[in-house]
């Protein structure tokens, strides 16, 4: 298969998986708000295996935020947080555990401000940092590591 076609196909697949998993999280009430555990954020581990996951995660996050009715600031800055996390994961791809840190930290540092500015959440920043960090630790840390272990045993990438 042509390398460009393969890259585009992998990116599109990651984007569509991100949207589908976000919709599942949304149906459980976990995709947005002060407490969020987006199952789709586990996919931020994928740049360990392919650089095609980086644009796929970014586009997938934009699309997921659009279909779940997110505010403009959330669509922009939430997607940028995912993009920064994906790039960081790619840069730290040699270590499965360190690779989970960039998406956890980018979302922990950016999303509380989005919640305050875009949605007028009245909770304090400390509380928001803690809740977003906890959700990201579950989705990127725990689920992401489990996903990376499963994928490392396959020949998919």
Domain of 137? 10-152
The answer to whether position 3 is within a domain reads no
Q: What is the mean pLDDT of the chain?
A: 95
User: Cα(61)–Cα(23) distance, rounded to whole angstroms?
Assistant: 11
- pLDDT for residue 1 is more than 80: no
| Domain membership flag for residue 41 | yes
Alpha-carbon distance 102 to 88, whole Å?
5
Task: Using alpha carbons, select from 85, 81, 137 the residue that is nearest to residue 114.
Answer: 81
- Predicted confidence at residue 38, as pLDDT, reads 93
Determine, yes or no, domain membership for 2: no
Model pTM score: 0.95
**Per the domain annotation, does 46 fall within a domain?**
yes
Confidence grade of residue 156 (pLDDT, cut at 50, 70, 90): confident
Domain-located, residue 1? no
- Number of domains within the chain: 1
User: What proportion of the chain, given as a percentage, has pLDDT over 90?
Assistant: 91
Q: What is the pLDDT of residue 128?
A: 96
- Structural domain includes residue 87: yes
């Amino acid at each position: 298969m042509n390398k460009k076609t393969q890259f585009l196909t992998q990116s599109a697949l990651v984007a569509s998986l991100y949207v589908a998993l976000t919709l599942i999280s949304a149906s459980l009430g976990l995709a947005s708000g002060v407490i969020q555990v987006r199952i789709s954020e586990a996919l931020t581990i994928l740049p360990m295996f392919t650089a095609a996951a980086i644009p796929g995660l970014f586009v997938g996050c934009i699309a997921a935020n659009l279909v779940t009715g997110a505010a403009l600031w959330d669509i922009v800055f939430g997607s940028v947080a995912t993009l920064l996390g994906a790039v960081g994961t790619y840069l730290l791809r040699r270590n499965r555990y360190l690779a989970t840190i960039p998406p956890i930290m980018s979302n922990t540092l950016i999303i509380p401000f989005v919640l305050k500015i875009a949605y007028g959440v009245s909770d304090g920043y400390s509380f928001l940092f803690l809740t977003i960090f906890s959700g990201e630790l579950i989705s990127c840390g725990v689920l992401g590591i489990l996903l990376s272990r499963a994928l490392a045993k396959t020949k998919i990438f």
